[in-house]
Structure 1
């Protein structure tokens, strides 16, 4: 009898253990089913560096999503093999400092003219010519000179510091600080935001896509890259390398010269399945005066839109190209409905007036600027800081 009771006790214990384990497994499955599946980014830590809030100075370029903290968190150290991108606010402050130290030809030219003491019509013509040389465009240059002349006549003040201050105020207004400069980076109606990046060859487009991925990773977004530039052999490798540095996957074709629209479509499809926050599509560089190439770019957009709207079309412009960049911008805008501008190579502000001209012509904001070769030398555009830097102290 005793051995029967012992065996019975063992059976009861085993049944009890199995019951508890079974309940735990069911609870785990239920909890797991309620979690949103995220992209496999290795073991990248939480990199939310105060991301998501909307600041008046453009310090954060992304949209807030539910659950984002309003508290600035210090980025954790990245695991071996992965980098920790610089937070948006930190890079913006650093780029402001770099802009302020830049040697602006516009600032030097205006200083010489306004400090001359004699403000006759010839001097005002020279001021307008200086503004035109900085690529502000005819309309903006004329408006700035007219406003400055009116103030000088009304207040009878001619010292250089005061006039420079007035000019800065007017330039800040010309930069349209009221424009929305946020980057679409939050899931919309259960799908990822889709960003399409376009531009001519040589503007640093693929590099800009890689740097933008770093900006969004720093804002704790799940990012997926699409290598739809299939005509340049090294483009997909370059993009994949950028993504791998911060744990962002890249969708690419195994064949050179593959249909870029198919690659873009597949990237968005995988982004939807992986429940990414944002998919960024790199497209091949186009000559704005080649109709067949531009039509192919329009095809990429049409194909992608069969499964998902495109939330953002960013045009990458080389700031040093001046008015030629304006012609590029207009053609691209006609083909793919540009929503924002990324200005690269803005290290020297001699041609920085292109910001004013392109915004006036297209009615879309400059959203990001690149001021160097470093991986985190891309930041939201801040009109106030830019006006101060362009005209000096």
Structure 2
């Protein structure tokens, strides 16, 4: 029995990046032998064990054989006769198929591998030096999730290029319908992780280049080639603008919910409906409708969906909020449910700032709407609604009339704050 450190930990150490997790591979062992040493079995699809003290994952060496379309269509073979090279051959990218013997790792988890220490049968170190994302073997085609993983790694290692033969293989997989068999949970898992990478636009560029974006997110894919309105730099199209918005959200360290809202906010511009084209008038409503379909398809969490809907529906009004009077500002806050969910409203404003700054020449521009609307919310939220309600009741108001009194009091507060 021999143990190796594999995958991301070795890759990131060789790149000089922080190492957060350790994945271990055990060659020449049986499940019974692992349990006898105190390991706790946790794997459902293949044998994975937790170390009795560190609780890190140890997986038995295995091979995989395609048995049906999609992510789950595999037969797993894990036994003591599976070699290290056979296990590494089933991995996605060469840079993730490098192994280091466990004895080269210190007790505190640190390691400083020399090239001679590493098992690297598929030349992952060379691809690291040449900044290349390349599949290990043709077995890559058996798992369509790997297309998403390549795109996600392109967003993380944004100076790496996808190898031409890997690009060709991904296009073949898309043409063969493999992407159609992806399950929603895995798609959302990879998309959400890619959105949180250094340069999320690269994930969508890679997916678009191989044709997968048209299958997974046709609403986003058709934004390329759609001109921006004259007031929004028509020299770049809506797809390019969207990628700039996404990268702005990463630069501003936005949350996943904000980044997803940035991805979804302009879907309505991809429409061919004549009442919306060519100036995209009314695209906000159409965007809000389209994103619901996306969220249903990939089972996007409710809180992320709700923020995206607010941004899609109201981003035009937020951009124009400097032109609104006090009454219109309070109505905007009410439509955004800002009084009940002020933190979500703040995130909506950040997404709108990303949209405004995601244009050529606007990257460093201030976005005064954000601070102004936060101030407006603070003034309106400071109204003592209980006291206003009691006063309205004493004057004989009931039901909706009480709500109207609170609404008017908030408008008065906003007017007073504006001076």
TM-score by length of 1: 0.27
> Which one scores higher on RCO, CA 8 angstroms, separation ≥ 6?
1
More helix by share: 2
